[in-house]
């Protein structure tokens, strides 16, 4: 995962509601799986294993967001468990075991969560974050992001 992707995911996380955070997790898992496939194809086994482990951790977090008491949640969890099994198998075998298929399954599930996110009117989960403004600077075609806000009013209030 590149530094730019980490910045993007951090920004999305600070501005997202619950359903938006689930979409961020979908994207994080997908990036780690893509990075692991790229690392495997380039012959970098250590990077491959690192990305598979990070994909498993992120996917585990994604699975924890699903309500297992709901009938639809149970079905989604079955798919998530299958994908997690393929990630674990890929780590044990040290080769991508149907990871492209897993990415397709995640993409299909993400469509349903995007629909839920479009009708979700809840505000951001994080309340005490900086506003981020983006705009063109004096540089030719460069985009800079700056944060504005009260830096002294962060953290817990007693």
Residues 42-94: tens digit of each pLDDT: 999 999 999 999 999 999 999 998 888 889 889 999 999 999 999 999 999 99
Token pair recorded at residue 14? 């600070």
Backbone angles phi, psi at 135, to 5 degrees: -165, 165
* H-helix segments, the chain: 3-15, 18-42, 45-63, 71-93, 99-119
| Domain covering 3-119 in this structure, CATH number | 1.20.120.340
Q: What are the domain boundaries of the chain? A: 3-119
Mean pLDDT of 136-157: 53
- CA gyration radius, the chain: 18
Output the pLDDT for position 129. 61
Question: Using one digit for the tens of pLDDT, what is the confidence trace for 11-30?
Answer: 788 878 888 888 999 999 99
Query: Distance between CA atoms of 137 and 50, rounded to whole angstroms?
Result: 37
């Amino acid at each position: 995962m590149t530094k730019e992707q980490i910045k993007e995911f951090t920004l999305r996380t600070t501005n997202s509601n619950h359903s938006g955070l689930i979409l961020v997790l979908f994207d994080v898992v997908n990036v780690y799986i893509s990075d692991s496939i790229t690392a495997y194809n380039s012959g970098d086994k250590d990077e491959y294993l690192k990305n598979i482990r990070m994909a498993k951790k992120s996917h585990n977090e994604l699975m924890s967001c699903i309500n297992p008491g709901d009938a639809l949640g149970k079905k989604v969890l079955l798919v998530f468990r299958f994908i997690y099994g393929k990630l674990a198998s890929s780590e044990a075998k040290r080769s991508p075991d149907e990871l492209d298929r897993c990415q397709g399954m995640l993409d299909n599930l993400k469509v349903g969560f995007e629909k839920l996110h479009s009708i979700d009117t809840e505000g951001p989960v994080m309340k005490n974050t900086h506003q981020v403004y983006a705009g063109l600077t004096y540089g030719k075609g460069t985009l800079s992001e700056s944060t504005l806000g009260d830096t002294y009013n962060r953290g817990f209030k007693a």
